[in-house]
Structure 1
Amino acid sequence: MRTPHTAAVTAVAALAVTVLGTAPASADVGDGQVVVLHAAGSFDPSGTGGAWTYDPALVPAGARARVVSVSVAPAERTRTRLSVRGLLPDRAYGAHLHVSPCGALPAASGPHYQQVPDPAVPSVDPAYANPVNEVWLDLHTDARGRAVVRASNPWSYREVPASLVLHAQHTHTEPGRAGTAGARLACIDLR
């Protein structure tokens, strides 16, 4: 159940994104804190504007993504939305929030953001690499290369993730492969 306070904090964050197009990384609202992450851009091999494509055959230059994530404390709720267009039609992609900013090399974004970090790296244990502990935004594009996907997590960020990475496949869940989703195809910095 949403409390009036939680609803007010969420409304303030949504209004900031709607009116400003972006929002501050965090703001105190009453006795809670809201973290708003927002990114929108066109993928490019040079990373112009903070959106990189590492495989233009699967994430064409000019394809676009928009990410909004709102994390509210003390309500312990994080909601994230990803919309894409210009990707390949009728294709599955994996997508996750990562701990480091994008860079010229796909590995620059580091591992997936985990609310409770796995002591083992890379994390392939389903006790840690799962859609409750991580933000998974796997998608399947329509005939025009568009998709919208949402994730809801029962916690507020302990640290702020820095990027969203598109992967070559939907995310695996089985032991030994949990959290893996194939090659890193593209990355967009969260601001």
Structure 2
Amino acid sequence: MALSTASAAAADSGREHGRHQRTVFARGTFASPATARNAFTYDQDAVPAGARAQVFASYPSNGRTIVRLAVHGLLPNREYGAHAHVNPCGATGAAAGGHFQHVPSADPSAANPANEIWLDFTTDRRGNGFASAVQDWRFDSRCPASVIIHEHHTSHGDPPPPGSAGARMACLTVPF
């Protein structure tokens, strides 16, 4: 298996109302948990070792958060779900913890695209995909630490619970 490679950077781009504006970039090459550094594949049939992902997050002066995900080398013409999660990636998909929620809640209705970062995508015939989420809020003292790629697009409810997207297939640690 190929070893994971990683590059992550966060840069200040100025001040806004006493807070730094930042951009964050993370990329990785998916590898098995035994050899991965920051990009883990838990299901190599769905996210093959050697597939790649990039996450770019920006915090423009309008108070929003923009997160973009690009993937390369996944299965062609397939739907995947993806979400920001609270912890960094680890040896199992469970290590990343639950979905990051802007307003934490045990109420199932809090699992929605306005309170979380949902990055569902469908790959093209080459296995490449792209997703973007724009939120009307910024991270405070809490930030997500990873993006998990899930088995299928995210449910908005009826019948599956809102926010569910199946098994955790892969994970990229992101220094949000």
TM-score relative to the length of structure 2: 0.86
Matched, 1:48 2:72: no
Which ranges in structure 2 are unaligned for 5 or more consecutive residues?
A: 1-6
Tell me which residue corresponds to 2:9. 23
* Counterpart residue type for residue 151 of structure 1: A
1:140 equivalent to 2:122? Answer yes
Higher helix share: 1
TM-superposed CA distance for 1:33, in Å, is 2.3
Is 2:158 the partner of 1:171?
no
CA distance in 2, matches of 1:106, 1:162: 13
Q: Which residue of 2 aligns with 1:61?
A: 49
84 and 184 in structure 1: CA distance in 2 versus 1, 3 angstrom threshold = same
Kindly tell me the number of residue pairs found equivalent between the two proteins.
165
User: Per the alignment, do residues 113 and 27 of structure 1 end up closer, same or farther by CA in structure 2, a change over 3 Å counting?
Assistant: farther
Report the Cα distance in structure 2 between the residues aligned to 1:26 and 1:61, rounded to whole angstroms. Answer: 33
Identity, in percent, stands at 44
Provide runs of 4+ in structure 1 moved above 3 Å. Answer: 25-28
1:70 alignment partner, one of 58, 62, 66: 58
* Whole-angstrom CA distance in 2 between matches of 1:187 and 1:100: 10
Secondary structure in structure 1 of the residue aligned to 2:37: helix
Determine if contact 2:89/2:173 at 8 Å carries over to the other structure: yes
Q: Which runs of 5+ in 1 are unaligned?
A: 1-20
* Contact residue 8 and residue 174 of structure 2 kept, 8 A: no
Query: TM-score normalized by structure 1?
Result: 0.80
Q: Which moved more, 1:86-95 or 1:63-72?
A: 63-72
Other structure's SS at 1:23 match = strand
Matches within 5 A, 1:65-144: 65-72=53-60, 75-118=62-105, 120=106, 125-126=108-109, 128-144=110-126
